[in-house]
Structures are given as structure tokens and as C-alpha cells.
Structure 1
Amino acid sequence: MSETGEGDHREFTRVPIKIEVQVDSGGKSIFSEQTRDVSMKGLFMLCQDHALEAGAVCDMVLFLGGREEGIRIEVKGMVERLTPQGMGIRFTEIGLESYEHLHNLVLYNSQDSHKVEQEMKDHMGLKRRE
């Protein structure tokens, strides 16, 4: 999967990156050893276990550098879609420190850092400026 292309009208650039993620929702916990891509708006995680349904609200932790040590990005989200390969989850809430880590993750793994910075200027947090 590549970054957002010219014909793609997504609000935020997706970067292909593999990181560990844990999703908790309704007493269920799903762990994936890798994401397919991450953006400032959400992620797609590879998993075979579809214990959650579309629309499920969840708490997530993205582990940068592994589960035992390293940086943790904590976000709240909602399952947007399910595929045989995994789940697409939209971020709905993120704290300031996690937001900064997520921004840096996307920025430093993007092929076009200027575009990522412009996307950030065009938005207030996770929502487009009005």
C-alpha cells in the first residue's frame, strides 16, 4: 500500500508502516503484530479475529518499539470496516502527547513531509478547520 496519491481525496496521508497495536472494546481484547497503514485519522490493522463489529467503539494502544518498552500512542476509535485481512479503525479522540507522537510517526514515515504539515495546518486536531 502506498501513500495517498493524486487521485485520492483523503483528508490525511496514509503511511505504510508495520507497528503492534492492541484494541479493547466491550471486554474483548485484540492484538495485532502489525498495521498495514496509519494516518492522522485512523489505521488499518491486520488480524484474522473479527471479534468486533463495524461501529464498535474501542480503546487502542499503538506500540512504537514493542510492547515492553518504547512509546505508546493511546487513542479512542471506532471500527469503520472489516475485511478478510483485518479492520479499519477511525480515531475519535487522542491526548496531546499521543497526538504529537502520532504526528511525528506519520511525518517521518511519509514521502512528502510538506504535504503532511499542510494537512495539519488545514485541521484542528482530527477535524477539518471550518
Structure 2
Amino acid sequence: MERPDQRTKTRVKLETSANLQISDRSLAGNTLSRDISLDGIFIRTSEPVPINVPCRVTITISGTSSTLSMQIKGRTVRQDQAGVAVRFTELELDSYLHLRNIVLNNQVPDSAA
């Protein structure tokens, strides 16, 4: 049976570098985000990750002339074969504004989906 979609915020596809820090363990290197919203992010990883634990996500977006890095506190909420979902629990104002702009600028109109 398929689980109902429990998301409350718009999510957009975004493949960018993401580092997941849980306690003293860091998942970095080949970890990429798959999609993101103002509520959370899905990070691709094949490593097992404990669920329902606090974490810190560092999202890095590189452009042609600059790099944006956001550190966001969260909690792991789900894992499957593709990766782990993190729900954001604490966003600084700057990170929230950057994230909001990323979501707004990457939305696909309903008619194009």
C-alpha cells in the first residue's frame, strides 16, 4: 500500500552537494540532494542512517562566480534505498530567505508537470 504524501510545502528537484552531520559522524563526498522544500530535504546516500535523530545539513550551491552554503538543523525522518529524508527544525533567517528563493525559482508550473 502506498503511503499518502504528507508534505505541506512545495518541493522542487534540486541536485546539489549536501553534507549530513549526525553527532560525530559526517556523510559527505558523494552525497547529493534529490529534492528540497522549506520543510526539508532528501539526501541521496546508500549508508545506513539512524532515524528520528537530530542532525545538521550543509547545502552548498555553486554558481559560475560564487558559492552559497547554508547550515540547517534538522531531524532524520525516513530512509529508503535511495537515501534519507531530513525535516528542518531550525533555519536562520538568511538560510530561510535563500531557501525560499531556491524553491520559488525552481517550481514547475502545474501545466508543465
Sort the TM-score into its range (normalised by shorter chain).
Answer: 0.7 to 0.9
Matches within 5 A, 1:49-68: 49-50=47-48, 52-65=49-62
Partner of 2:46: 48
Matches within 5 A, 1:84-123: 84-112=81-109
Instruction: Identify which of 2, 11, 14 aligns with 1:14.
Output: 11
Q: CA deviation at 1:9?
A: 6.1
Residue identity over aligned pairs, in percent, reads 29
Q: How many residues align?
A: 103
Q: Which runs of 4 or more aligned residues in structure 1 lie more than 3 Å from their structure 2 counterparts after TM superposition?
A: none
Q: CA deviation at 1:25?
A: 1.2
Q: CA deviation at 1:34?
A: 1.6
SS in 1 for 2:11: coil
Query: Which segment is superposed worse, 85-94 or 57-66?
Result: 57-66
Distance (whole Å) between structure 1 residues aligned to residue 21 and residue 6 of structure 2 = 30
Instruction: Identify which of 29, 34, 37 aligns with 2:35.
Output: 37
5+ residue gaps, structure 1, are 1-6, 113-130
Q: Which has the higher strand share?
A: 2
- Aligned partner letter, 2:82: Q
Instruction: Determine whether 1:79 maps to 2:79.
Output: no
5+ residue gaps, structure 2, are none
Aligned-residue CA RMSD (Å): 1.8
CA deviation string 1:68-94 (max 9, x = no partner): x50011100000001011000000001
Distance (whole Å) between structure 2 residues aligned to residue 103 and residue 44 of structure 1 = 16
